Structure 1
Amino acid sequence: MHQLTRDQARRLAVQAQLLDADRPDDVVGIAEQLGAIKIDPTATIAPAEHTILWSRIGPTYDRGQLAKAVESDRLLFEFDGAFRPVSLLPLMLPAMRRWPRRESSRQWLEANDAFRIEILARLHAEGPLLASEIPDTAQVARPPDGWYGPNQVVHMLDFLQRQGEVAIVGREGRHRRWDLAERVYPQGLPEYAEEEAERLLNERRLQAAGIAKQKSPWTPVGEAGEPAVVEGMRQKWRVDPEALAALENDPGGRVAFLSPYDGMLFDRPRLRELFDFDYVLEQFKPKPQRRFGYFAHPILLGDRFVGMLDAEVDREREELRVTAVHEFVPFDEDELEMIHAEITDLGRWLGVDVPEW
């Protein structure tokens, strides 16, 4: 049983998320470590997938690196709203083959079997297609909700992706282009039994987290890693032993602005327990109820969350407009200088000016 201080626990999390002073420079390597790079079009600063990579690599990150890794090299693939390394695909396939578990989803698929066959036949004959290029001939419709409109083609393609029958081959703007999975995913992948695949997935989740609660529904890691306790806490934790060993060569911290969809922020209970950071995304709150801004980016300084950056790119004026830097505790002179420097680097990466604020 490892005995950890809270400082050590936080550093484990920061290092596992590649947010320490030792910046990586390889998009695929980052995806291998993080497991997933969230895709989201909200671009007050930049889309989430690019902000997440910039937060790790810094101003040398080129957006073309991600497109090359996904569409040319095929070392990353898009699934369920995130780019993932191909090394995870064989671990995901056993669960994909038994999807769906929900009875209502099974019934919808059964009722639309002819629709499903039509889509697969069209992709087989015509190659990669946008959803808008496929006729909607569904026999039974799912009602629109907050994420989907009335077009049943989008529903069916997402269902078929979850079953491993179709895959996203690329994008045109924000629109996904689909093809048969057998023509997108690499052939000859290793085969795993479902139990073994889940065990290996748990190890990869812990690798990305560094430390996670043993029974966390946010970061399910099962029995991966080794048991640990954190000072002042009663919960049982699991730690990645390789990450723990790497603490001996801690490169130190830095400033990082995190997209609201960054994986570092996903496990909200862990943020509260280890970082004393009660994070709330205010994007969907009415304006009068927002404290920090519509899409404010949390500011990580070393192993502490110290504030929120409320900023937006003004496309017409070609400048990064900083509305506010909210300080949880007043910054000292050195901290303020570091945050200013990171804002300057952000503007340089975006290719826009940064007016005084």
Structure 2
Amino acid sequence: MPITISKEEARRLVVQSQQLFAKPSHNNALGTTLSAIEHLGYIQIDTISVVQRAHHHTLWNRNSDYNLLHIEELVAQKKVFEYWSHAAAFLPMKDYRYTLYRKKAFHMGHEKHWFKKDIQLMDNILKRIADEGPLMAKDFQHSQKVNEWGSKPAKQALENLYMQGDLMVAERKNFHKVYDLAERILPKGINTAIPTQQEYIRFLITNYLRANALGTASEIAYLLKKTKNLVAVELKEMLYKQEIVEVQVDNERYYVLNQLLNGIENEEAYDEVKILSPFDNLLIQRKRMKTLFDFDYQIECYTTEAKRKYGYFSLPILWKNQFAGRMDSKADHKTGILHINHLAFENHFSLSDAFTFAFDKTLKDFCRFNKCSSAHLHKTTPTSLKKAMKAIS
């Protein structure tokens, strides 16, 4: 029989496992950033830059001493690398071996990428990089013909070589990938043995539960093709062996690592506000957020302006273990102003002095993080709360 826990206890477990309110680390700042990446398992990369990009934003929320050069330094030190998680991401090098399972599937044609393979072009590109060293897509002569994705042949070939593991990203220049041969990027002595199917699936399970506390087969297999049934079978086996525990939250059942249940605290250990990236690891699965946190969140930058309710790039606001609202923002680096186009609070949320004080502190930190000296508030929902936000002009 599953263990019954309350929704509040479940939320506390999830937030603790995400290390959003973690105690100060004994590591130096760079070591703390690496530790966060290794714990979470991935940091999603996104190109939108109305505020600091998602990978920086996610790490800043877990490391008060985060520096925008940290990822670049960790890539150079071969402690972090780029590959595909559920989306483009930075991954810890210690987990490199587990990417080989998917890379082999791409190489063998068992898993398809967006682009058809042009084997001759791929071979030519590999030879050029082998002879000349790291190259970018723009270093190749492209034909004028583009496919339905608007991508040119050499770029498609580079992406196929990257997905099947022949190439890796050595660095980024102006956010553009610089590709090199995988064997020239990998650190010496790294384990390159392709995991068995069971090893890979167990890795997915333990990695997810460590970072997210609670998980279902669907959540663990999120956007990973052909894994859901395999995950479900392995979860049952791990439950039988008492490696994991089944818990029930309202009408939903989840799996939890045994040791994590001991982390349910009776008292709140933090009174902080977190302004999160839309691509933060905590809330990337929107259905999960609605079920566990009663937070119905969708990013609206991909919808037409007329259909937007909250704004182009609304940032979720986490207060303790609940979502208080969302903040649509844009950093204007010319004027040094963080424009808060819309600050919207959830219907159930009651503004308090404690929240206002914590939000004031976090907003000032967020301004500095975005290289802004002040914030300007344009709109609130409900409108009556605008006067309460004294921190914002």
TM-score between the two structures when normalised by the length of structure 1: 0.89
Say if 2:215 is the partner of 1:212.
yes
Which of structures 1 and 2 has the larger relative contact order (alpha carbons within 8 angstroms, sep 6+)?
A: 1
1:259 match? 277
Cα deviation, residue 64, structure 1: 1.4
Q: State the AA in 1 paired with 2:305.
A: K
Q: Write the mapping of 1:218-297 to structure 2, written as runs, cut at 5 A.
A: 218=222, 222=232, 223=235, 226-233=244-251, 235-248=252-265, 251-252=269-270, 254-297=272-315
Matches of 1:187 and 1:164, distance apart in 2: 17
Match status 1:349 vs 2:355: no
Could you tell me which runs of 5 or more consecutive residues in structure 1 were left unpaired when the two chains were aligned. none
SS in 2 for 1:10: helix
In structure 1, the residue corresponding to 2:69 is in which secondary structure? helix
Specify the alignment match of 1:182 in structure 2: 183
Q: Identical aligned pairs, as a percentage?
A: 26
Establish whether residue 202 from structure 1 lines up as the match of residue 205 from structure 2.
yes
Deviation of 1:204 after TM superposition, in Å, equals 0.8
CA distance in 2, matches of 1:187, 1:165: 17
Counterpart in 2 of 1:48?
Answer: 54
* Cα distance change, pair 258–23 in 1 and its aligned pair in 2 (3 A): farther
Alignment of 1:94-109 (within 5 A): 94-99=101-106, 101=109, 108-109=116-117
Matches of 2:114 and 2:370, distance apart in 1? 45
Aligned match for 2:90, one of 83, 90, 111: 83
Residues 182 and 258 of structure 1: CA distance in aligned 2, closer, same or farther (over 3 Å): same
- 1:131 paired with 2:132, answer no
Superposition pairs for residues 307-322 of structure 1, below 5 Å? 307-322=325-340
Q: Deviations over 1:220-258 (max 9, x none)?
A: 65416523233421x321112233223359734521111
| SS of residue in 1 equivalent to 2:302 | coil
Residues 24-43 of structure 1 correspond to what in structure 2 (within 5 A)? 25=29, 26-43=32-49
Q: Deviation digits for residues 7-44 of structure 1, max 9, x if unmatched?
A: 11111111111112535551110001111111112111
Contact 1:227–1:239 under 8 Å retained in 2: yes
Counterpart in the other structure of 2:161: 160
> How does the TM-score come out when normalised to structure 2?
0.82
* Separation of aligned partners in 2, 1:255 and 1:21: 13
Classify 1:212/1:16 alpha carbon distance in 2 versus 1 (closer, same or farther; 3 Å).
Answer: same
Per-residue CA deviations over 1:289-308 (Å, capped at 9, x if unaligned) read: 11111001000111101100
Aligned 8 A contact 1:136 1:151 in 2: yes
- 1:120 corresponding residue in structure 2: 126
Q: Residues 320, 335 of structure 1: CA spacing in aligned structure 2 closer, same or farther, 3 A cutoff?
A: same
Count of aligned residue pairs for this structure pair:
347
Q: Contact 1:91/1:198 (CA < 8 Å) preserved in 2?
A: no
Residue identity matched to 1:292 = Y
1:319-343 per-position Cα deviation (integer Å, ceiling 9, x unaligned):
2122232111231121122112110
